[in-house]
Structure 1
Amino acid sequence: MEESPVLISRDQRGIVTATLNRPRFGNAYNGALLEALIEGLRALAPDPTVRALVIRGNGKHFQAGADLNWLAEAAEYPPDRAYEASMGTVTAMQLLNEFPKPTFALVRGACFGGGAGMVCCVDVALATPDAHFGLTEVRVGVSPSPISTHMVNAIGLRHTRRYALTGERFDAAEALRINLVHEVVAEDAIEARLAHILDETMLSGPTAMANTKDSFLGANGLKLDARQMSQLGHESRTQRGSAEGREGLAAFREKRRPAWYQPPTSG
């Protein structure tokens, strides 16, 4: 039987680990991974025995964004199914952002697109020095609509405008500077650092933390309602299915520059 794309485990204290489990693909998400993540978050959120949630990737990478083969397939879906595909990403991010327990991300290797979106949605993000990041959707002609609000909330409009428009990749030091991650910790020390912060968190009252988190998001207008989520899903679906979206995905698969690229002129 094929292993689940998201592995859920918990320790005796109620700390749950969700391991993104597509290591051959850099843990890039497709429909199945999103469905598993959504199912897991919905089941864990009301469980009073769950004290914290840690998200990590299986293998060398945290999460390399969307599986571009899946995106190309979704670009050919009929409108209703294409919208549902986009809403999978929107919903997974919303559930993670509003998860009522403290959430953590441990980032190694690649963290692109939706992976960076996940990091924006957690309460505490730790990265190793080798981690590398990018809001790279525009490079393949699609938009980061499903994670856009979370990027602005986490790193601010100014940094989001730069990195979501240029598609530049950046290192862990830059991720720390722009507040995408809270700490950069050496590989041989990061597990101990995560364990220490989790132990500190266990001293906090579970209901107090849930209420505190709810007030942070609610009082500052950072929760998404159904209309906002639908708008994000529609924007994502529309751009992905456009001629530009199809060309960007085709260019990536064919390892060439997209048609809209113009090289610098000399002289």
Structure 2
Amino acid sequence: MTYQFLQIEQDAQVATVWINRAELHNAFNTQVIEELHTCFQAINAQDDIRVVILAGRGKSFSAGADLNWMKAQGEASAEENQADALKLAKMLQSLATLKQPTIARVHGIAFGGGMGLASACDICVASTDAKFATSEVRLGLAPSTISPYVIRAISARQASRYFLTAERISAEQALTLGLVHEVTAPDQLDAKIDDIVQAILLGGPNAQASSKQLIQLVDQHVLNEELLIQTAQHIAHIRQGIEAKSGLTAFLNKQSPSWIKTTA
């Protein structure tokens, strides 16, 4: 299949999905989300693929949502807004529930939805230059659809800090938080990922798929349709609000949002 914003490379049993919107730091809009969802569904049906690597072209893994797209959705009808948010929720679910083991190859920034993508993968390997953030509150938004995956990765206690402060998280901090499994020098990133790939290939594919299902079964926050709808409703409601519209407009115009008070 031909994609506009993705490049798929397959080397034997390993598929690498490159998000290819480098000029915008691989920020995603409706089309990128739809392409990722379609791609993950197709890969899930391929028995010749044993491991999936998710990566970003250019300087960054992913800056998350394209803010012009988010602003437009906030101005759409309530029904259109929620339907669009649900597409993002379902795309993340399709990544998180792939039968194949998944590895996030993170370099540069992984903000907002980019941190969500990294959290939805089974394994995350980051270069020392990687930076993470749930940056939504600084735009008047909330990390709604990514929350099941980020909270699962770093715990609710840590999320209660980073969801509220939107502080940037270094690769080493992400390792401590449990978001990242390995941190390596940029020129060693692919070698470290290959080590993990080779370890995965030693296991049985059906056993690994079953093990992934087991983790979801045992984990207290099982992903289901109700949770997807709830998180989609959550972001759809917030981005139609005055604060989100103000925050997105201010960011796009390189201005301070209305809730930041300047002193004389």
Q: TM-score, normalised by structure 2?
A: 0.96
1:8-47 counterparts in 2 under 5 A? 8-12=8-12, 14-47=13-46
What amino acid sits opposite 1:104 in the alignment? Answer: I
Q: 2:20·2:57 contact (CA, 8 Å) conserved in 1? A: yes
- Kindly state the Cα deviation for residue 253 of structure 1 after the two structures are TM-superposed: 1.1
- Per the alignment, residue 191 of structure 2 pairs with 192
Identity %: 33
- Structure 1 distance, partners of 2:219, 2:122, is 16
1:1-267 counterparts in 2 under 5 A? 4-12=4-12, 14-263=13-262
- Kindly state the Cα deviation for residue 3 of structure 1 after the two structures are TM-superposed: 5.9
- Kindly state the Cα deviation for residue 40 of structure 1 after the two structures are TM-superposed: 0.6
- Kindly state the Cα deviation for residue 257 of structure 1 after the two structures are TM-superposed: 1.4
- Structure 2 distance, partners of 1:223, 1:158, is 18
Q: Which runs of 5+ in 2 are unaligned?
A: none
Cα-to-partner distance string for 1:73-94 (whole Å, 9 max, x where unaligned): 1111112211121112111111
Is the partner of 2:58 in helix, strand or coil?
A: coil
Q: 2:105·2:124 contact (CA, 8 Å) conserved in 1? A: yes
- Structure 2 distance, partners of 1:150, 1:111, is 14
Is the partner of 1:146 in helix, strand or coil?
A: coil
- Structure 1 distance, partners of 2:84, 2:116, is 17
- Structure 2 distance, partners of 1:225, 1:180, is 22
Q: 2:55·2:106 contact (CA, 8 Å) conserved in 1? A: yes
What amino acid sits opposite 2:243 in the alignment? Answer: E
Count of residue correspondences: 263
Cα-to-partner distance string for 1:17-73 (whole Å, 9 max, x where unaligned): 110110000000110100000001111112211101100001110000110011111
Q: 2:109·2:130 contact (CA, 8 Å) conserved in 1? A: yes
User: Kindly tell me: are residues 3 and 44 of structure 1, through their superposed partners in 2, closer, same or farther at Cα, counting changes over 3 Å?
Assistant: closer
Q: 2:216·2:223 contact (CA, 8 Å) conserved in 1? A: no
- Kindly state the Cα deviation for residue 151 of structure 1 after the two structures are TM-superposed: 1.1
Is the partner of 1:245 in helix, strand or coil?
A: helix
- Structure 1 distance, partners of 2:46, 2:80, is 31
- Kindly state the Cα deviation for residue 223 of structure 1 after the two structures are TM-superposed: 3.3
Is the partner of 2:36 in helix, strand or coil?
A: helix
Cα-to-partner distance string for 1:208-239 (whole Å, 9 max, x where unaligned): 00001101112224432212111111111110
Is the partner of 2:27 in helix, strand or coil?
A: coil
Q: 1:65·1:113 contact (CA, 8 Å) conserved in 2? A: yes
- Kindly state the Cα deviation for residue 189 of structure 1 after the two structures are TM-superposed: 1.2
Q: Which runs of 4+ in 1 moved over 3 A?
A: none
- Structure 2 distance, partners of 1:249, 1:220, is 35
Cα-to-partner distance string for 1:149-175 (whole Å, 9 max, x where unaligned): 111111001111111111111211111
What amino acid sits opposite 1:186 in the alignment? Answer: A
